[in-house]
Amino acid sequence: MNSTLAIEPSVFYFGTPVALLTTAKAGDETANITPISSAWALGDTYVLGLSNGGKAMRNLRDNGELVINLPDARLWESIERIADTTGVADVPAPKRDKYRFEPDKWTLGGFTPRPSGIVGPPRIAECPVQMEARVTNLTPLDEEGDATIVHAKVLRTHVHQALAVPGTSYVDVDAWKPMYYTFRHYFAQGERVGVNFRAER
C-alpha cells in the first residue's frame, strides 16, 4: 500500500485545461480576453468558475455572450503575456500589486479576432477550438461573494480544419493537443494511455 501524507495546499490546481474566454459589452471597441482553467463540460453545458472582480464576469452579467476558446500548448507564451493584465480599468484593490489594466489584450498577446456567427464577442483565430456560448445560469461560488459559477450553453463549435475528421463532427484526438494548467505551470498533453469503451472512433 502507498502511504500518504496530509497536506494543506493553498490552491487545488491539480490540472485542468486552459481556456481563453472572449467577452464584450455592447458598444465595446475591443473585446476582452480572460485566461481561465476552472472549466469543464457536461453535455452541451460548460461550467466555469470566474472571479467577480474580473472583466469577464462584468461583461457576462451585461449580456451573457461569450466564446470559449481552447488553446494548444504552443500558445502558452501568448497567454502568459496577457496573464498579469485585466480589462477592468480601475484595477480592483486586491489585484493592484500584481495586475495592470490592458484595454487591448489582442495586440499584447498576438491574438487575431475572427467574427462569431451567433454571439457578439469574436473568436480567437489562433485557438484550435472556439465555442460560441450563452450564459444560462449564474450561482455564487461561496458566501464571501468572490466568485461565480457560470453555466454556459454551447451554441456552435468551430475547430481548425486539421482537427476535424472529414464528413463527421468528430475531433481527431491524435491532432488535438489541449494545454493543462497544473499549479500555475503550463503542460502539454502527454501520451495516450488507454481508450474508454464508449470512444466513438
Ligand X SMILES: Cc1cc2nc3c(=O)[nH]c(=O)nc-3n(C[C@H](O)[C@H](O)[C@H](O)COP(=O)(O)O)c2cc1C
Three cell numbers written together for 70: 481552447
CB of 19 to ligand X, least distance (A): 8
Closer to ligand X by CB, 100 or 168: give it: 100
Q: Which is nearer to ligand X, 38 or 157 (CB)?
A: 38
Grid coordinates standing for 7?
Answer: 497536506
Contact window for ligand X (CB under 6 A) among 43-51, 113-121, 126-134, 192-200: 43-51
Near ligand X in 153-172, by CB under 6 A:
none
| Phi, psi of 26, deg, nearest 5 | -55, 130
Name which of residues 92 to 151 contact ligand X (CB under 6 A).
99
Verify binding: residue 38, ligand X, rule CB under 6 A: yes
What are the grid coordinates assigned to 36, written together? 481561465
Q: How many CA atoms lie less than 13 Å away from 59 in the CB half-sphere?
A: 27
Which part of the chain contacts ligand X (CB under 6 A), choosing from 35-43, 65-73, 111-119, 189-197? Answer: 35-43
Q: Is 8 exposed, middle or buried (0-12, 13-18, 19+ CB in 10 A)?
A: exposed
* Stretch in the footprint of ligand X (CB under 6 A) among 50-58, 137-145, 169-177, 191-199: 50-58
Give least dist CB 112 to ligand X, A: 18
Contact between 187 and ligand X per CB under 6 A: no
Among 36, 60, 75, 124, binds ligand X (CB under 6 A): 36
Q: Quick check: 88 binds ligand X (CB under 6 A)?
A: yes
Residues 6+ apart with CB under 8 A from 133: 46, 65, 66, 67, 68, 119, 152, 153, 154, 155
**Contact residues: ligand X, CB under 6 A:** 18, 32, 34-38, 49-51, 54-56, 79, 83, 86-88, 99, 181
